[in-house]
Amino acid sequence: MTSILVLLGIAAAVVFYGIALYNKLVTLRNRMKNSFAQIDVQLTRRHDLIPNLIETVKGYIKHERETLEAVIQARNAAVTGLKNAAADPTDPDAIKKLGSAEGALSGALGRLFALAEAYPDLKANQNMMHFQEELATTENKVAFSRQAFNDSVMTYNTACESFPNSIVAGMFNFKTGEFLEIEAPEKREVPKVAF
């Protein structure tokens, strides 16, 4: 009789431990989703600023249509990527596509701002300066939110891959998350040094 009670006690302890691990994984997955929601807010703000920026630039850069169209196409791709990633922030493919689309948008915006340097009237335009400042502020917020998201992903992935959590994660189909990497083309360029 005593051995049966001991076995029941061990079984109950294992079940409660499994429940605790499951709840921990759910909590970490929800934190990861919440962290992505913060990125969603900042990227949406960024995407909303771009049409106003384009309207400001259009009047000055009439013959630079390709650059404007590249920014518009990159923005549209980034908006689509954000919607897909927001639908399921745990989908690694959607997060990768979002990172690529945002990187392309950053590159297109960089080319637009470089082009704007050639137009002194545009460079001095109050709306242009305002949008550049707003975008720079938003970029900083995106970077901070991305760091928080990636920290949440790391914590969640560590919990999913650690033993004995990995057993519970496997049983209940918890998939590891994907880090959000927004590649800026200028980050890959080798700096030029001249003396």
Res. 94: pLDDT tops 80? yes
In angstroms, what is the C-alpha Rg of the chain? 24
Compute the distance between CA of residue 143 and CA of residue 151 in angstroms, rounded to an integer.
Answer: 12
Tell me the pLDDT band of 188, cut-offs 50, 70 and 90: very low
* Average pLDDT score over the chain: 87
Compute the distance between CA of residue 177 and CA of residue 55 in angstroms, rounded to an integer.
Answer: 38
Tell me the pLDDT band of 99, cut-offs 50, 70 and 90: very high
- How many domains are contained in the chain? 1
The amino acid at residue 71 is: V
In this prediction the pTM is 0.79
Per the domain annotation, does 110 fall within a domain? yes
Per the domain annotation, does 97 fall within a domain? yes
pLDDT recorded at residue 20: 93
The amino acid at residue 127 is: N
Question: And the tokens for 119?
Answer: 């137009």
3-state helix, strand, coil in the chain (%, to 5): 80, 0, 20
pLDDT recorded at residue 189: 52
Is the Cβ–Cβ distance between 97 and 182 less than 8 Å? no
Per the domain annotation, does 8 fall within a domain? no
Per the domain annotation, does 119 fall within a domain? yes
Res. 11: pLDDT tops 60? yes
Higher pLDDT, 95 or 182: 95
Assign residue 138 the CATH number of its domain.
1.20.1440.20
- Give the model confidence (pLDDT) of 129-148 as tens digits: 888 888 889 989 999 999 99
Compute the distance between CA of residue 153 and CA of residue 174 in angstroms, rounded to an integer.
Answer: 13
As to burial, measured by CB atoms within 10 angstroms (0-12 exposed, 13-18 middle, 19+ buried), residue 194 is exposed
Compute the distance between CA of residue 114 and CA of residue 64 in angstroms, rounded to an integer.
Answer: 12
Query: What is the dihedral sign for C-alpha 30, 36, 37, 38?
Result: positive
- Which domain range does residue 69 map to? 33-174
Count Cα neighbours of 20 within 13 Å in the Cβ-side half-sphere: 7
As to burial, measured by CB atoms within 10 angstroms (0-12 exposed, 13-18 middle, 19+ buried), residue 155 is middle
Tell me the pLDDT band of 190, cut-offs 50, 70 and 90: very low
Compute the distance between CA of residue 53 and CA of residue 109 in angstroms, rounded to an integer.
Answer: 10
Per the domain annotation, does 190 fall within a domain? no
Per the domain annotation, does 2 fall within a domain? no
Tell me the pLDDT band of 52, cut-offs 50, 70 and 90: confident
pLDDT recorded at residue 58: 78
Per the domain annotation, does 3 fall within a domain? no
Higher pLDDT, 123 or 75: 75
Compute the distance between CA of residue 29 and CA of residue 35 in angstroms, rounded to an integer.
Answer: 10
